[in-house]
Structure formats: C-alpha cells, structure tokens
Structure 1
Amino acid sequence: MPETADGNPPAAPAGTLADQAPPRASRRRRFAALARRSARSSAVAAASGLALAAAFPPYDLWPLSLVAVAALSLLTRGRTVRQGAWLGFAFGFPFFVWLLQWLHTVGWDAVVGLAAIEAAFLAALGACLVLGQRLPWWPLWAACLWVTEELTRDRLPFGGFPWGRLAFANTGSPYTPLAALGGAPLVTFAVALSGTLLAAAALTGLRLYRSRAWSPRSVLPAAGALVLSAAVLLAGLLVPVPTDAKDHVKIAVVQGNVQQPGMHFLGRPMMILDNHVKATLKLATDIKAGRVPKPDLVLWPENSSDLDPFSNPAAYDKITEAVQAVGVPVLVGVLVDGPDADHVQNEGIVWDPVKGPGAHYTKQHPVPFGEYVPFRKELTKVISRLDEIPRDFYPGKTTGVLQIGPARLGDVICFEVAYDGIVRDTVNAGARAIVVQTNNATYGKTGQPEQQLAMSRLRAIEHGRAVVTAATSGISAIVGPDGKIEQRSEEFTQQVLNADIPLRDGKTVADRVGAAPEWALAMVGLLSCAVAIALDRRGRTRTTKGQEQQ
C-alpha cells in the first residue's frame, strides 16, 4: 500500500467504506452492550434503593444509608443528565415501595402511586448529582443536593410528604445529636456527606488499582476522604444533648386498643371510646388501691373518641365519667364537626374533671387522600374508593400549646411529627414537652408505627424535650430529651404507661435558627448545579470557536 511522506497510509477518499456507517451487525452488538450496561446500572440502583429502605425502622440498619448514598453517587458519576435522572428513579422507586409498603392496607395501587410520585424527586436528584460531580469538591455539593431534594419533597405537592428522609433513618446513630444544632436537615446533610466522601474514596482507590501506580502520595486523596467521612460521623458525638430540668410532671398514657387492624379498625360505634374509658376507670381503681401513683394528667390518643361528644350526649357522658373518676385533666383525641357541613376537625381537647371540655388544638396539616381529597369533584368520578372520605378535615390555624393541669405541653397530631416547622413552632411557642397523639390502627404490624416513633426520637433531641406518643393501638411510648425510649407499649393491647417526664424551657440551637440551615444548604446545592451548567456551556462555546478558527 502506498504511503505518504510521514509514513502513514493515505486517507480514504470521500465516499469509500471509511466514511460509511458500521455494518448493521456491529451496530446491534454495540446497542446490546449498551443495553446490558444500562440494565446492570439500573439493577444496582434498585438494589441500592432497597438497601436504603433497610436503613429505616423496623430494620434500623442505619449504616446502609451511607452505602446507599455512596452507591447513587458512583452510579451517576460521568453520566448524562438524562441517565442520572433514570438512575435516580430506579433507585427511588423500589426504595419507596418497600419503605411505604404499610400503605398496602389501603391498596397496593396506593403504594405504587405514592412511590412513583416520591421517586420523581429522586430522579431530579440523580440528574442534579450528575451536574454537581463535574465540579471540584463535588462530595460537598452532592450532600447539599440531598438536602435540596428533601426540602422540595417535604413541601410539594399538597404540603409534601417527608417520609424517607435520611435523618429519619439515623435517629439512633452517631449523627443524631446534630439535630440539636440544625434539625433533621443537618442530620441528612451529615449522612449524605459521609456517603459522598466514601464514594470519592472508592473512585480514587479504583483509579489507583487500574493504574497500578501505588505510592504513599497517591493514596492521600482516598485516605483523606475516608478520614473526613469518619470525622463527620463522629462529629455528632461532640454535640451536647441537654436533659436537665427543674420541673417534672407525672403522666399516664392510656392506650385503649381497637377491634382489629386495617381500614375498618373502628368496629361498632363507641367501641374505641369504651375501650379508653374502661382503661381509664381501671387506672382510677389502681390509683385508689395504691398500685400506681396518681398522675398530674392523663393523655388519650388521636381518635380515642370515635364519636363527636358535642353532638352525641352518650359520648360526652362517658368521657366525663372517666375524667372525673381519675380526677385529673385528660387530653382527649376526638373528631368534631367543622365550621360547615362539609368538614370535620381532628382535635385534642383538654377535659377537666370539674369544668369539662376546655382548650383544644386542631390538627394543622391534614393528610391528602387520607383526611381530605384534593380535586374531590374530579377525582371521585374515577377513584370510587375516595368516597370513603365523606368529609374533608378542616385545618387548624394555631400551634398546639395547651395548659394541661400543671404542665404546658405541645400537642402534635399523628403525621405532623414528620414536619419540621409544626413541631418547631410548637416548642418556640412555649411547649415544655411534646405530646404526639396518633392513631396507627390502620397500619398496625406493618412497620409504620416504628417509623413514626423514630421521628419522635429525633424530635426529642432536636428540641431538647421529652416526647410522649399516645397511640390508639400502639406504639405508645415515652422518649426522653436524649432520644432514648424509656417505655413503649405493645401493639394491639390495652395498656397504660405511667411516667415522670421532665419539663424543659431551654431552647436548642435548632430552635433558634429554624429553617435557615436547611435553606442555606439547599441553595448551595442548586447553585452548584447552576455553576456546572454555566461552565459546561462555556466549554462548548470555546470548543465551537476553536473549530471555527481551524
């Protein structure tokens, strides 16, 4: 073959086989190879999502949250934005299906539908991780993006759904005390940063393995990332968790139980109220017999009265009988008629043995599709099951700070414990301890009560307050200001917990700074994406100009 002056074969003239597309068989092989690679990546993403689900209660394998974050970082490294979005969804969908499987008591379509909506936020996270990793110091920006994702998901749509936050998988880990400084968002950031630093160390180690260029200097980046990851993990242990208190109050938590788990837990009318009345009357008998000390107040759970006592005299009389028998104020959870015929209100009412019903708190954040139906007129035409929610819950407008006997307590009802602002506002309004009135009977024996109890543990440390969970069928619990579970009930039993809890006035740093750390970290995450996009465009512009000059 003739050669040019530089010894290379001459270039093929235009129109020869060199300019033609590769053979069809070659294209098929290339496509098959890409498909196999995509399938493997998707499978690894799904497995990583399942690992993250196992980090949450009832499994509590919190180190898996670090592994899952690291895995998603590695999977999105060097991908296109579209590929990152798909991998984020492949990670998020199985994660939420397993985490939220307790919704199967409503229907598996509810599990799949909610999981798909929540996974869409992780798809956006996956796309943003691709951008953030194009910048120096990318582990930091990637960790901020996890906060950005949670901030958005906690608020949208319909007020958001905070289940599945990294912080809620780490309510008993070394990261947990960080909640006292910056709330749940700071815990999420610390967990995510440890995970992304692990990913950075793994990438450096892989490059060294492939290059076979080992030296003390070459391993420094990987070693540094590992040290920083460990330092972030251990930082929480240095945060003081104040638990001292000058005042205490004796309480009794009544768990009356329900007829059965699932959607139809109510049983016959007034059965749940009867259960709580009987348990309280037995408590009164035990007090008179000296078997238990007399409490300063008694706490009943959400929906402890299944009938509105203000429109049903029999229910009113039964509550009054129980309250007068025990002789101290009782916080009663009831559904009462709302301001119009189309609404009801989910309330905690302070019932005094002498004065009767008094101060009350109305749940501020009703659950969409559980306690109210958005777009009711349109959706009920296609989803007949929504007719089981005949009236929407009317939201309250004020915090749940209530004077119950000698204690100023903050009432939070059921899922509200998952929302940072509701609990924080209640503490800042003067609550000296927190009460979570809840009814988990629909989701009994599914892991959901354990997940909600984990949130109470985080809130205790975040606000330096004892948290008392009063549940209709379990899990009722006493959580100290240090986040430790001091007592807990069994599910689907009638049980009374007696405890002496501290009343604290001190504010944590998290109480004072509010949502500022969350917004700051989230904005840093978004800015990192904006910078990456701007640098990418600038690079393409320079390349185009260079090609034009040639």
Structure 2
Amino acid sequence: MPALAFAAVVGLVLAGALPPVDQQVPGTPTATVAAVQGNVPHARNLPDLLRATTVTANHAAATERLAARVRAGAAPAPALVIWPENSTDLDPRLYPQVYATISAAVSAIHRPILVGTVLQDPLRNAGQLWLPGSGPGAIYVKRQLVPFGEVIPFRGLLAHITSLVALQPVNFTPGHRAVVFRIGKIRLGDVICYEVGFDNLVSSEVRAGANLLAVQTNDATFEMDGQRGETLQQLAMARIRAVESDRAVVVASTTGVSAIIAPDGRLLAHTSTWRRAELEARIPLVSQRTLADRVGSWPEAAIVTLTLAALAWAAAAAFRRRRREPDRQR
C-alpha cells in the first residue's frame, strides 16, 4: 500500500509535465498597461493624515510625470493605469482635497486609473476604477482580510486581555464576489495584497472573465527596516499566478517591488524598492482558460490525501510490527 500511494503521488506530480504548455493564440489582442509606484515617506512618526495625503499626492505626481512623457512622445499612452493598495487611505467621497488630487491625475493621463482606496460606511479595502470625465466608478472589495491587521478575531474576548485591539478599532468589511473591470478590450480582475496567495480568489477572477490580472499591494510596513522578503515572496506568488492562469499580471506596490509579468512568468518590467517609478509594457489579453483553472484544486487535494493515507498505513504497519516482536521473544 505505501508503495502504491507513493507511486500515485509521483504519477500526479509527473503528469504536470504531460499537457502542452499553453500557446498564445494567433490574433490575441494586446494592450499597453502602466503601474505607478508613488513611494511613501520612509518614516514611522508622521501624523496619519499627512502620511495619507502625501502618499496620494506622490502617486498623482508620478502619474502626471508619465502623462508628460506620453504627451512628449517619449512613452506610449497606456490603456489603463494601476495604482497600489492604500494609494489613498482617505475616502475620496469624504475628503474633497483627495478627490481633486486623484481627479487631476486621471485628467492628466486621460485614461482610467484603478485606485487602491479605503472606503468608509462600512470600512472597506477596495480597488476603485476612476474614469476620465466621470470620476469614481466600479469597486472591487478585498475578500480575504488579514487577521489582526484588518479584522480582529475574538475582539470581545481579546479586549479583556490586551489593549492592542484598539490599534484596529473597527473591523474591515469583506467583499463577497469577484469583480471584472471593463476597459475597452481589457477585462481586469483584481486581488489585493496577500489575496494573491489564495488559489480560489485568483481563479475566481479568471472564471468571471478576466483577461488581465492586477495585484494591488502596500508593502511599506514590511520594508521599514530594509528587508525585502515579504515583497519578493509576493512577487514570486504573482509570477506563479501568471503561469497558472496564462494571464499577464500587473503588480502595483506603494514602495516596490512593482512589476508587469508576462503570462509565462517573465518580468517584462519591474522596479526596485523605496523609489518613485512608473512602469509600462504591452501585454497579451488572453481569454482561454488553462488546465489549472479548469481542474481547480483537486490534484492538490488528491496528493495530500494519498500522502496522509501512506503515512497512516506506514504508522499502522510499524505499530503491528512492534506488537508482534514480544510474541516472537516468548
């Protein structure tokens, strides 16, 4: 039985090499997309309001710089611009200055911008598409919230034990569905920050019709001391998602690493950390679904089940041998 289970696991792993690599269909449409990395103040002691408005102003300034290059003929006009998670922590509906800053950036580039924003009533972490001439429109709300970051589990109980729950006084409200933003021929599916690590969330965007994926993220807190482990891990996940879904992926980060990834996982463009940058690349808009998206997670479940079965069989066999040994000694 252990040998059979081992052979089955090996067979499932090797079977991954049998299907042909997804080939781009002739005539696949393409589009130029841009990611903006506005950077944030590299300090912990700025007042929250100042930090929030500064971050938004930074992303607007970077977008306006890209717009100037487009007008000068030094860069192609993108079909879509993607800002990162928390590019504004203040709800533009409640702060006219923030609304005006974003609106000016949209007007300057004259293209839709997916803005990472925090919305109130209820509190949500969202990606909102801003359109030239009409302002904020469709919204994707983050579905997989970060425990102890965006939501405090067992808040009532923990409040009796520690005052740290006050650091997040109100839980974020999760979204409940995939959202595909329609921008011309682009069908954009969005995930926010560590949602990229969840198979079902990314694949749900593809099943909903996305031909391009975005990962909006804010890695500033993890990089304050110079470490890049979290952002590089997240970038590696995004590259896996590109290959898995055969979709181009745009990673937009406040502080980096931001990147535009080809469907085969290659980095078409990327930034370093803690600097302002704008990225552009022409990417294919693939619409067919991969084998990975069609079969879902059952191969993983099968491998785990067979592995557990083999371990249980081995443990039972070892237990039976130990029970027989005293009988032989008699």
Q: TM-score, normalised by structure 2?
A: 0.89
Deviation per CA, 1:86-106: give whole Å up to 9, x if none.
xxxxxxxxxxxxxxxxxxxxx
Which whole-Å CA distance do the structure 2 matches of 1:369 and 1:514 have between them? 29
Letter in 1 for 2:188: L
Aligned partner of 1:519 in structure 2 is 301
User: Structure 1 residue 289 and structure 2 residue 68: aligned?
Assistant: no
Letter in 1 for 2:279: L
Which whole-Å CA distance do the structure 2 matches of 1:338 and 1:415 have between them? 23
Q: Name the CA shift for 1:478/1:521 in 2 (closer, same or farther; >3 Å).
A: same
The equivalent position to 1:240 in structure 2, one of 9, 21, 24, is 21
Aligned partner of 1:458 in structure 2 is 240
Which whole-Å CA distance do the structure 2 matches of 1:513 and 1:285 have between them? 46
Which whole-Å CA distance do the structure 1 matches of 2:129 and 2:119 have between them? 14
- CA shift, 1:317, in A, is 1.7
The equivalent position to 2:258 in structure 1, one of 476, 480, 496, is 476
Deviation per CA, 1:476-532: give whole Å up to 9, x if none.
101101111111011111111111111001111111100111111111122223323
- CA shift, 1:435, in A, is 0.5
User: Structure 1 residue 394 and structure 2 residue 177: aligned?
Assistant: no
The equivalent position to 2:155 in structure 1, one of 340, 357, 376, is 376
Which whole-Å CA distance do the structure 1 matches of 2:135 and 2:72 have between them? 26
Which whole-Å CA distance do the structure 2 matches of 1:393 and 1:284 have between them? 34
- CA shift, 1:537, in A, is 4.9
Which whole-Å CA distance do the structure 2 matches of 1:326 and 1:405 have between them? 16
Aligned partner of 1:485 in structure 2 is 267
1:97-496 alignment, distance < 5 Å: 135-136=2-3, 190=13, 236=17, 239-244=20-25, 246-260=28-42, 268-339=51-122, 344-444=123-223, 445-446=226-227, 447-496=229-278
Letter in 2 for 1:242: Q
- CA shift, 1:138, in A, is 7.6
Letter in 2 for 1:494: R
Does the Cα contact within 8 Å between 2:246 and 2:263 map onto a contact in 1?
A: yes
Does the Cα contact within 8 Å between 1:283 and 1:326 map onto a contact in 2?
A: yes
- CA shift, 1:542, in A, is 5.2
- Report the secondary structure of 1:268's partner residue: helix
Letter in 1 for 2:55: I
Does the Cα contact within 8 Å between 2:62 and 2:277 map onto a contact in 1?
A: yes
Does the Cα contact within 8 Å between 2:191 and 2:215 map onto a contact in 1?
A: yes
Letter in 2 for 1:252: A
Which whole-Å CA distance do the structure 1 matches of 2:45 and 2:272 have between them? 20
Deviation per CA, 1:397-418: give whole Å up to 9, x if none.
0013221343101101110111
Aligned partner of 1:508 in structure 2 is 290
- CA shift, 1:287, in A, is 1.7
- CA shift, 1:539, in A, is 4.3
Which whole-Å CA distance do the structure 2 matches of 1:295 and 1:250 have between them? 5
Aligned partner of 2:311 in structure 1 is 529
Q: Name the CA shift for 1:235/1:252 in 2 (closer, same or farther; >3 Å).
A: closer
- CA shift, 1:331, in A, is 0.5
Which whole-Å CA distance do the structure 1 matches of 2:248 and 2:236 have between them? 14
- Report the secondary structure of 1:491's partner residue: coil
- Report the secondary structure of 2:51's partner residue: coil
Q: Name the CA shift for 1:327/1:509 in 2 (closer, same or farther; >3 Å).
A: same
Letter in 2 for 1:407: I
More relative contact order, 1 or 2 (CA 8 Å, 6+ apart): 2
Which whole-Å CA distance do the structure 2 matches of 1:433 and 1:280 have between them? 21
- Report the secondary structure of 2:312's partner residue: helix
- Report the secondary structure of 2:202's partner residue: helix
Which whole-Å CA distance do the structure 2 matches of 1:396 and 1:493 have between them? 31
Q: Name the CA shift for 1:235/1:307 in 2 (closer, same or farther; >3 Å).
A: closer
- CA shift, 1:140, in A, is 5.2
- Indicate the structure (1 or 2) with the bigger Cα radius of gyration: 1
Long gaps (5+) in structure 1? 1-131, 145-185, 191-231
Letter in 2 for 1:255: Q
Deviation per CA, 1:42-64: give whole Å up to 9, x if none.
xxxxxxxxxxxxxxxxxxxxxxx
Q: Name the CA shift for 1:357/1:523 in 2 (closer, same or farther; >3 Å).
A: same
Deviation per CA, 1:97-130: give whole Å up to 9, x if none.
xxxxxxxxxxxxxxxxxxxxxxxxxxxxxxxxxx
Q: How many residues align?
A: 325
Q: CA RMSD in A?
A: 2.8
Q: Percent identity?
A: 41
248-257 or 236-245, which deviates more: 236-245
Deviation per CA, 1:411-438: give whole Å up to 9, x if none.
0111011111111111111110110011
- CA shift, 1:533, in A, is 4.0
- Report the secondary structure of 1:271's partner residue: helix
Letter in 1 for 2:141: T
Letter in 2 for 1:491: T
- Report the secondary structure of 1:392's partner residue: coil
- CA shift, 1:347, in A, is 0.4
Which whole-Å CA distance do the structure 2 matches of 1:265 and 1:519 have between them? 47
